[in-house]
Amino acid sequence: MSGLKRSLISMTVAGILASPAVYATNGMNLEGYGPVATGMGGASMAYENGSAAVMNNPATIGLMNDGQSRLEVAIGSLAPDITSSMTGMSDADSSGGPYMMPAVGWTKREGKLTYGFGMFAQGGMGTDYAADSIIAAGTNEAVRSEVGVGRMLVPLTYEVDSKLTVGGTIDFVWAGMDLKMAMSGAQFMDFMPTTVNPLATNAGGTASGTLVSAFAGAVGVGMMNPANPVNTTRFDFSNSSDYTGEASSTGYGAKLGFVYKVNNKLTLGGTYHLETSLGDLKTSNASMTMSANFDDNVLNQTWNPGVAGVAAGTYTAVPVDVTGRVSVVDFQWPATIGFGGAYQMNDKLLIAADIKSIRWSDVMDSFRMTFTSDSTQTGLAAGFADVAVDFEMFQKWDDQTVINIGASYQVDSALTVRGGLNLSSNPVPDAYLNPLFPATIENHLTGGVGYKIDQAQAVDFSLTYAPEVDATSGSGVAVSHSQMNWQFMYTNNF
């Protein structure tokens, strides 16, 4: 392997291992993997579409020519345009992006076997809002979220006969998350059990644990204003890096697939992506801050939940900073089932169509997070030492059906043009939409070109436009979201 190829691989692998989160398209999945498939609306089940097939239908790498080896290096950009607004308030524009995503793949066919290696960004979601935005809920600090998932894949396919090829991948999966989330006092109190807040509806989620009991004790002894104990609450675990998440985990996944040549023109294919097995995302560098309305007589004292203050009748808002660790519990990537076909109309025109079911309901029913405070706290946070809160935000995502339709046309021996549609529904119910996680994109218009430089080298490019989708959350925040994305790939056959 040449020095140039080794350099390209090493730079790309380093970039992928430090790749940032990406924004949602088909839920949290990208609209397509690799510029060949993406240019055709993401359709990829039943024709040869390069090493990105390990993310699509791994069996299709078995359609390579016998003896062929292929190295592909790619870069992609996702540029979301997200605005959140409420009546009578200034709009909040997310400043995140564009986000760059590298990928690399190598595949080789020897007789009936095809094998290789790939590293790809799987998908994710996130936003970045200013400190003075409505999403900051009056905390005067920036709020943001980033969720990123990537895969290192080892594929293997076997040609059963001249018509049928089967294959699969073993995937090493890693995930990272940053979160700076602000809640108003009313939102936070609505998560409380009715024993703490009799008016709580738990419409958006629940909070429980020893930290909640300690909070109830603070209110009960009069150190906080019982009528309005909290103005705002923040959960914060973020390294503000474009390359790594503060909370992280690793795990495994796998894919199975097949392709079947019905005749010289028609090929069918299908795949099953197993749900991942990721460990909980963890970090020991987290904080929970409450702007609490404390009794003026106990300010500047170390709080003891067993000692009541002398009611002053007046209260002052004071931040209570509790340090600790976070576990995001059972965050997984969903199972996907896909089936499709490709029809070679003539020597120049290929038409492809797929249908996929993404099982979001199995993994996105709730966002569950446990914050455990450090054993040593200072000041007004002393009463919150060595306690925990189990925080659950309802998500209740719907399963998503995605239809991919595309075509490619070979203009001449060097140039190929592509176009397609990626059609889906918004999996996020309005009632549970969070402006930090606006995975609401529905349809995509895609196009692309491929150009053969010579017999060994080629480049491919795709461009995707996702029209604006508008949705309004249960708390009355209107979110608009559109995207313009591209992918570029260099291929070397040897």
- Between residues 5 and 158, the one the model is more confident about: 158
Output the pTM of the full model. Answer: 0.91
Q: Are residues 389 and 433 in contact, defined by beta-carbon separation less than 8 angstroms?
A: no
Q: Which residues of 458-484 are buried (b: 16+ CB within 10 A; e: fewer)?
A: bebbbbbebeebebebebebbbbbbbe
- Between residues 390 and 310, the one the model is more confident about: 390
The DSSP code for 448 is E
Residue 223 structure tokens = 């150190």
Q: Are residues 178 and 238 in contact, defined by beta-carbon separation less than 8 angstroms?
A: yes
Determine the Cα–Cα distance for residues 311 and 243; give it in Å rounded to an integer.
49
Residue 4: is its pLDDT beyond 80?
Answer: no
Mean of the pLDDT values across residues 375-386? Answer: 90
Residue 220 structure tokens = 């009960």
The DSSP code for 276 is P
CATH code assigned at 472: 2.40.160.60
Pairing of strands 92-93, 99-110: unpaired
Which residues are paired to 401 by β-bridges? 357
Residue 336: is its pLDDT beyond 50?
Answer: yes
Q: Which domain holds residue 192?
A: 3-493
Q: Over the chain, what is the mean pLDDT?
A: 91
Determine the Cα–Cα distance for residues 420 and 40; give it in Å rounded to an integer.
4
Residue 152 structure tokens = 């290192």
Please give the pLDDT value at position 23: 55
Domain count of the chain?
Answer: 1
User: Residue 381 in 3-state DSSP?
Assistant: helix
Determine the Cα–Cα distance for residues 71 and 69; give it in Å rounded to an integer.
7
Residue 351: is its pLDDT beyond 70?
Answer: yes
pLDDT tens by residue, 442-488: 999 999 999 999 999 999 999 999 999 999 999 899 999 999 999 99
Please give the pLDDT value at position 7: 46
Residue 15 structure tokens = 């970039």
Q: Where are the alpha helices (DSSP H) in 178-326?
A: 185-190, 210-220
Residue 41: is its pLDDT beyond 70?
Answer: yes
Mean of the pLDDT values across residues 418-437? Answer: 96
Residue 346 structure tokens = 């003539």
Task: Name 451's Cβ contacts closer than 8 Å, sequence gap at least 6.
Answer: 414, 415, 416, 458, 459, 460
Mean of the pLDDT values across residues 299-324? Answer: 69
pLDDT band at 218 (very low <50, low <70, confident <90, very high): confident
pLDDT band at 10 (very low <50, low <70, confident <90, very high): very low
Quick one: the chain helix, strand, coil %, rounded to 5?
15, 50, 35
How many CB atoms within 10 Å of residue 250? 11
Determine the Cα–Cα distance for residues 74 and 32; give it in Å rounded to an integer.
13
The DSSP code for 485 is E
pLDDT band at 55 (very low <50, low <70, confident <90, very high): very high
Q: Are residues 419 and 444 in contact, defined by beta-carbon separation less than 8 angstroms?
A: no
Q: Is the peptide bond before 98 cis (omega within 30 degrees of 0)?
A: yes
* Residue type at position 273: H
Q: Are residues 253 and 154 in contact, defined by beta-carbon separation less than 8 angstroms?
A: no
Burial class (CB in 10 A: 0-12, 13-18, 19+), 111: exposed
Mean of the pLDDT values across residues 166-174? Answer: 97
How many CB atoms within 10 Å of residue 90? 10
Residue 189: is its pLDDT beyond 80?
Answer: yes
How many CB atoms within 10 Å of residue 160? 13
User: Residue 18 in 3-state DSSP?
Assistant: coil
pLDDT tens by residue, 69-97: 999 999 999 899 999 999 989 999 999 87
Determine the Cα–Cα distance for residues 76 and 29; give it in Å rounded to an integer.
14
Determine the Cα–Cα distance for residues 315 and 276; give it in Å rounded to an integer.
49
Determine the Cα–Cα distance for residues 306 and 327; give it in Å rounded to an integer.
29
Determine the Cα–Cα distance for residues 20 and 121; give it in Å rounded to an integer.
9
